[in-house]
Structure 1
């Protein structure tokens, strides 16, 4: 999406140069004074953000710093004058390093009454808005305001510019993707839009980018018909327009370019017939269409660019599409198109870009795709294409993406003849054979190479000489059966992925040297899931992502790691590292994922987490760390996952974490936490928590009702969510967690956002099961086993409709099992064993699937699936007439009672005297051994039930 938008911005850049500058000696003194005043009102030397000059400002930039009183203003950079009067009629301040207020009320620009063109583009006007005085420039025909940080209302006085022919207003915030700065959008309301379209009847081109137009409705859009004789271009990109675009807008007789994008609720219907307009560009992005692409699109004979990106179209590619012989760009990516790619594709001989990615197309790639004479960009990735890749007979290709298909056959050797190739992605294609990696050195312009996930493809490396790839920036060789470090020279390398391979032994010296000296631009390194040994390579400052998990690396984490303060992801998990965690890691400003799990690290957790840090994931589980926990963890306000399980941390419950607004996963399992859990008065504690695991510790007192009462994220079941969404979705790091699920230890390698569970087992909690648990409607798993919980099962647990496992075993619960539990349709595992339940086991639905193990150890329980049947109560013998006449307990009853009681007491006393002590002692030993064996098994991650 970004590169498409970038291409349009480059077009805009060309449009900025409508008016050339004229050198003349007729400079109006008033205008000259106004321009000098304008210059002095701005701070130059744009230091807050430097725009990428090769993208935005390579073609043109104005230098107002060179303006001075000794030269004629008509010769100044960016100034255009009327050749007869000397009045300033054009100002182009593109890429002028301007920052400050955009056009304030006292700006001298507004005194230039003859101004026809005003261009302010690619500058930093952070937080400033367009002032209403813009309406005073009544002679403006061209207005371009495309900058960073623009905000506020577009004033209604802009409708006073009745001579406007060209209007471009937009923000480049999202295009730059700057994580530091964030400003609210500019807003264009319905009234201003209506007045503008009504007055500016000469408008030929409208470009609005990232302007909030949510209040502009269908009737207001219909006003564009007022411009039917003039409108040539309509560009409304990400403007939040809602409602339906009137179909007749697409039929405007002179409209040549239309670009629409809406991530909200804009609806568009393409005409099904009589669609004959001079459209040359039709680009629709993120529009919620449905059904087929209509055949009427084949009537647009002048069309040279067609993009229907992520528009939810299904069905086959319409045959009429291939009648558009003037097409040079065709983008139908991220739809639901099916069927084969028609062989008629060869009729589109002028194509330079063909993108059909992200559909469900099948069948072979037509041979015509390999010979289109003008083709630069071919993207057929993420489909279900089959067959082999043919040999290319065109030399024009620059981008080739065929990844994530069901192709087979040998690697096409003709690829090495594509001398202009810059991007090659054949990952996950099923290719086979042997490829000499050094042949890629023939592709001197190659900057992206992706060959990951081809299990049948073997890459051959010659270690006696280097493969020289002078322009390579991205190299992806994950899961490619690489058994040794590929030796290559790539001075511009930015991303290296050698993960999931068979590389053994120590990391070679040349790799360390390149890391520290040659690879000046390296930002991401992934060496995870190999068999690497020895010491860890130290990433240089500038690296953002460093992944070496699941290897056999050993030794300490060197303090030299502190030099890599630019890290955002550091994953050293599942190695053999020892020693202390460097304190500096807690101070890295951009580090959001730190994963050190599964090592032998000891000592304390760093206690210097700074305010305003970026931590979202902190995984230190499976080490030898000891406590207490640092209070500075409360500074991690962005934290979503905190996993400290299976260490030796000794502390009370970290109540100060309850204020973290985004914390979703908290695992303190298998440590030495102790004491009573008490909330310290936070109004809404743990509001986002979804996984709460404090099992296998030494907590005492009642269950933490005050916290459970505030588990808001577990109370609202998200039944309407479509598709699978995971916590912290990222291509380079996925959050994971080990939990006891249905009695077994399981690792969730990715955590679904809808997954919720509570595990308070193997502690010393007392009291009753809180009724409030029944309000946690999203709860999937609940484990309260191996505690000292008393009372009955609250009926409210029958409200947990999403519950899949429930473990209340090894407690002192009593009473009958509530029939309401049979309503839990998703309950797959139930363990109520080793309690004091009594009565009949309920039957029906899921309860009919549970075995004997779910209920053993409850002597007073009976019924299926236990072998003990429930005997009907025997009828009492009838009372005598004398008994009926006597009130209360008669003397005979009392005598019999005393006699029976005496005999029972003697027998019971003898039993206790001879056997009671031994049974009591045996039961105590049994309980102690069970608790200790349970803790031992869990420390060693041995799956067990109960």
Structure 2
């Protein structure tokens, strides 16, 4: 009977949430509009013109109220989403779950009226105030499960108030902007089974040294400021099956103690600067299905085969079970060959060994369960194994920056029908296209990187791709004009296009509406400057044969951060807008052209320039005092190199930019300051980079 009542109440809740007329009241406050939403609406408003002659008949347009800096949920014709206050009338509700919603504004205090709730799950952009939190803690005493993913709790004074919810068995406050100290007494609860406080970087705390909850099975403190006493953790939490501790303060690290966690199935200790050799032989983690030790300083070799089961013709590896599904060891100091037993793991779906010093050849995989494979930035050699082309579930494949060799037919990769990310750049491979396989495509490809692959033409396999985001074909042998069929590829989705260091002679158009990064450096481009869309943040076209004046369209690049037109034959005067047309322009390189005239006065006003190069032209005038004082200059620090983006993408970044030498007057050739690739990566990725690839490891979080 209880189940039927619960079902009825959930249905009733759905009907409530589906009717804004029923749930909203005249006194209800408007939810706060997100800045990106208001910006999108304003762009939509400016995309059409208003016919003033129709005012008398139709009335003023609704867009008259659409003004920047105001709450777009109050604009005429716009309705914001908020959880209605009438929700509090469902006093018999036992479970409230709202996932992946776009609700915003303050969490209604009426939720605290739902005194019979035993499960509250909210995944939204709501804001939780201290007063509402106190009501929830006081009234919802039956709560067993509380999940507030992405809810803004930054104003809640001390998360220790949660300790009053004595019935909780599961608490998840991931990405809630929690601050302050989390009381260790919370870990004393005998009925607590799951605790997730991850992605709260300002949350501090210590794990207790005794009186642990013996029932705790799931613990995630990822990307918090917790201090972890590792010996006490492994001694006290023997019921744990899932442990996430990336980027925590791990004290008393001793890898042999992991053998105490005999029930562990998922273990993540990435981003902790842990070092030494991994004591594989001392572990006995028979239930382990996911292990991530990435971004540490582990050294040595992976264990080779321990024994071999002749009856089943398969290896037996003691520290890692054959049913292991995910292994992440990227960005460490490991060396030697990839051991044979790795190729025999029958359930392996994710393998990340990037950024180590592995040598030897890639062997044939004996199973076809791979979902993600990243072995880039090593010293591997030999051909690509044939078994990779049979991994029908493969979504992510990165073999870049190795010494792999051989001739590979592009059509082979079309067998990977689910592939979304493919990177073969910077090997010794030669990719060819057989005319008898022209119909093969990569329909789901999102990022394709084939730099330095001896390609002589654009890969025809992307012609049907609608969701391509990144296309890297630099350092190849592509010549002539860009083919017409390419203009129709992913017009709405392509953001990153790198065609540098080829032999391209002409480019008729750039139709990609969302393009943010465009690299056409070191080609044979002739004629006028190609017109890049307004969305572009990085535009590189140096070392070509472009001529004519700098066109006025550059003044429409409102998001530009880096603009490099150097080493061409551009003539005429510098457009006045270049001094201050973009609030974000940091690097401007017009050096080694045929520009003449006065330096625009706009350079004397405030701007964001950090690097400016105008040498090698016939320009007159002097730099403004604000530039001469090196006000905005920022020298890259050598120590930045270690933990930034992988070298294969920007190995050849060496943009020469004239420094802000005090007293500098143009017309005099001065020295150069090299803008390091690391600084460029930071600037580009801040605007272009997109989301980092979701690891397979996430699939094991429950």
Q: TM-score normalised to the size of structure 2?
A: 0.76
Q: Partner residue of 2:179?
A: 214
Cα pair 2:204 2:225 within 8 Å, conserved:
no
Shift in alpha-carbon separation, 1:599–1:122, aligned structure 2, 3 A: same
Shift in alpha-carbon separation, 1:586–1:185, aligned structure 2, 3 A: farther
2:191 is the alignment partner of 1:223: no
2:274 is the alignment partner of 1:313: yes
CA offset at residue 565 of structure 1?
2.2
Cα pair 2:495 2:517 within 8 Å, conserved:
yes
Q: Partner residue of 2:360?
A: 387
Match of 1:653 among 599, 623, 631: 623
CA offset at residue 517 of structure 1?
5.5
2:469 is the alignment partner of 1:494: yes
Q: Following the alignment from structure 1 to structure 2, what is the Cα–Cα distance between the partners of residues 352 and 397?
A: 9
CA offset at residue 488 of structure 1?
2.6
Q: Following the alignment from structure 1 to structure 2, what is the Cα–Cα distance between the partners of residues 33 and 417?
A: 46
Q: Partner residue of 2:314?
A: none
Shift in alpha-carbon separation, 1:601–1:374, aligned structure 2, 3 A: same
CA offset at residue 156 of structure 1?
3.1
Q: Partner residue of 1:569?
A: 538
Shift in alpha-carbon separation, 1:209–1:99, aligned structure 2, 3 A: farther
CA offset at residue 622 of structure 1?
2.0
Q: Partner residue of 1:552?
A: 524
Q: Following the alignment from structure 1 to structure 2, what is the Cα–Cα distance between the partners of residues 541 and 31?
A: 40
Q: Partner residue of 1:428?
A: 401
Cα pair 2:9 2:93 within 8 Å, conserved:
no
Q: Partner residue of 2:633?
A: 689
Q: Partner residue of 2:230?
A: 269
Cα pair 1:550 1:574 within 8 Å, conserved:
yes
Once the two structures are overlaid, the 10-residue window that deviates more, 290-299 or 19-28, is 19-28
Cα pair 1:572 1:597 within 8 Å, conserved:
yes
Q: Following the alignment from structure 2 to structure 1, what is the Cα–Cα distance between the partners of residues 113 and 254?
A: 46
CA offset at residue 420 of structure 1?
2.2
2:499 is the alignment partner of 1:521: no
Q: Following the alignment from structure 2 to structure 1, what is the Cα–Cα distance between the partners of residues 301 and 437?
A: 44
CA offset at residue 243 of structure 1?
4.9
Q: Partner residue of 1:204?
A: 169
Alignment RMSD: 4.0
Q: TM-score normalised to the size of structure 1?
A: 0.58
Shift in alpha-carbon separation, 1:292–1:728, aligned structure 2, 3 A: closer
CA offset at residue 281 of structure 1?
0.8
| Corresponding residue SS for 2:411 | helix
Q: Partner residue of 1:338?
A: 299
Q: Partner residue of 2:61?
A: none
Q: Partner residue of 2:154?
A: 186
CA offset at residue 441 of structure 1?
2.3
CA offset at residue 745 of structure 1?
5.0
2:80 is the alignment partner of 1:99: yes
1:883-906, CA deviations, whole angstroms, 9 ceiling, x for partnerless residues? Answer: xxxxxxxxxxxxxxxxxxxxxxxx
Shift in alpha-carbon separation, 1:410–1:33, aligned structure 2, 3 A: closer
Shift in alpha-carbon separation, 1:569–1:33, aligned structure 2, 3 A: closer
Cα pair 1:738 1:745 within 8 Å, conserved:
no
1:567-587, CA deviations, whole angstroms, 9 ceiling, x for partnerless residues? Answer: 222111111111122212222
Match of 1:750 among 676, 687, 690: 676
Q: Partner residue of 2:691?
A: none
1:80-122, CA deviations, whole angstroms, 9 ceiling, x for partnerless residues? Answer: xxxxxxxxxxxxxxxxx9835557xxx2223443343333443
Please show how residues 921-940 of structure 1 align to structure 2 within 5 Å: none
CA offset at residue 185 of structure 1?
6.3
Q: Partner residue of 1:146?
A: 123
1:872-925, CA deviations, whole angstroms, 9 ceiling, x for partnerless residues? Answer: xxxxxxxxxxxxxxxxxxxxxxxxxxxxxxxxxxxxxxxxxxxxxxxxxxxxxx
Match of 2:613 among 640, 643, 646: 643
CA offset at residue 523 of structure 1?
2.4
Q: Following the alignment from structure 1 to structure 2, what is the Cα–Cα distance between the partners of residues 601 and 159?
A: 68
Please show how residues 61-100 of structure 1 align to structure 2 within 5 Å: 99-100=80-81
1:824-876, CA deviations, whole angstroms, 9 ceiling, x for partnerless residues? Answer: xxxxxxxxxxxxxxxxxxxxxxxxxxxxxxxxxxxxxxxxxxxxxxxxxxxxx
1:214-269, CA deviations, whole angstroms, 9 ceiling, x for partnerless residues? Answer: 321xxx52211442x21111101122355552244794211010001235464443
Q: Following the alignment from structure 1 to structure 2, what is the Cα–Cα distance between the partners of residues 25 and 567?
A: 47
Shift in alpha-carbon separation, 1:750–1:728, aligned structure 2, 3 A: farther
2:392 is the alignment partner of 1:419: yes
| Corresponding residue SS for 1:261 | coil
2:57 is the alignment partner of 1:108: no
CA offset at residue 490 of structure 1?
4.1
Q: Partner residue of 2:150?
A: 171
For these two proteins, the number of residue pairs brought into alignment is 606
Cα pair 1:726 1:751 within 8 Å, conserved:
no
1:632-683, CA deviations, whole angstroms, 9 ceiling, x for partnerless residues? Answer: 557874443333233223234335xx3xxxxxxx6xxxxxxxxxx9xxxxxx
| Corresponding residue SS for 2:230 | coil
Cα pair 1:627 1:649 within 8 Å, conserved:
yes
2:553 is the alignment partner of 1:587: no
Shift in alpha-carbon separation, 1:512–1:123, aligned structure 2, 3 A: same
Q: Partner residue of 2:7?
A: 22
| Corresponding residue SS for 1:625 | strand
Shift in alpha-carbon separation, 1:519–1:450, aligned structure 2, 3 A: same
CA offset at residue 477 of structure 1?
1.2
| Corresponding residue SS for 1:145 | strand
Shift in alpha-carbon separation, 1:485–1:139, aligned structure 2, 3 A: closer
Q: Following the alignment from structure 1 to structure 2, what is the Cα–Cα distance between the partners of residues 446 and 32?
A: 38
Q: Following the alignment from structure 1 to structure 2, what is the Cα–Cα distance between the partners of residues 249 and 613?
A: 55
| Corresponding residue SS for 1:382 | coil
Instruction: Give unpaired runs (5+ residues) of structure 1.
Output: 1-17, 51-96, 173-183, 659-665, 667-676, 678-684, 692-712, 754-946
The structure with more radius of gyration: 1
If asked which structure has higher relative contact order (CA below 8 Å, sep 6+), I would say: 2
Shift in alpha-carbon separation, 1:144–1:635, aligned structure 2, 3 A: farther
Q: Following the alignment from structure 2 to structure 1, what is the Cα–Cα distance between the partners of residues 600 and 96?
A: 57
Q: Partner residue of 1:258?
A: 219
Shift in alpha-carbon separation, 1:594–1:746, aligned structure 2, 3 A: closer
Q: Following the alignment from structure 1 to structure 2, what is the Cα–Cα distance between the partners of residues 33 and 442?
A: 44
Cα pair 1:122 1:147 within 8 Å, conserved:
yes
Q: Following the alignment from structure 2 to structure 1, what is the Cα–Cα distance between the partners of residues 616 and 426?
A: 34
Q: Partner residue of 1:14?
A: none
Cα pair 1:257 1:282 within 8 Å, conserved:
yes
Q: Following the alignment from structure 1 to structure 2, what is the Cα–Cα distance between the partners of residues 25 and 653?
A: 68
| Corresponding residue SS for 2:146 | strand
Shift in alpha-carbon separation, 1:25–1:744, aligned structure 2, 3 A: closer
CA offset at residue 611 of structure 1?
6.5
Match of 1:507 among 464, 469, 481: 481
Instruction: Give unpaired runs (5+ residues) of structure 2.
Output: 38-77, 305-316, 662-668, 680-702
Shift in alpha-carbon separation, 1:331–1:636, aligned structure 2, 3 A: farther
CA offset at residue 451 of structure 1?
0.9
Cα pair 2:362 2:384 within 8 Å, conserved:
yes
Q: Following the alignment from structure 2 to structure 1, what is the Cα–Cα distance between the partners of residues 404 and 211?
A: 44
CA offset at residue 495 of structure 1?
1.7
| Corresponding residue SS for 1:119 | strand
| Corresponding residue SS for 2:382 | coil
2:23 is the alignment partner of 1:38: yes
CA offset at residue 606 of structure 1?
2.6
| Corresponding residue SS for 2:539 | strand
Match of 1:621 among 578, 583, 591: 591
| Corresponding residue SS for 2:173 | strand
Match of 1:326 among 245, 265, 287: 287
Shift in alpha-carbon separation, 1:548–1:244, aligned structure 2, 3 A: same
CA offset at residue 418 of structure 1?
1.9
Cα pair 1:607 1:632 within 8 Å, conserved:
yes
Cα pair 1:463 1:487 within 8 Å, conserved:
no
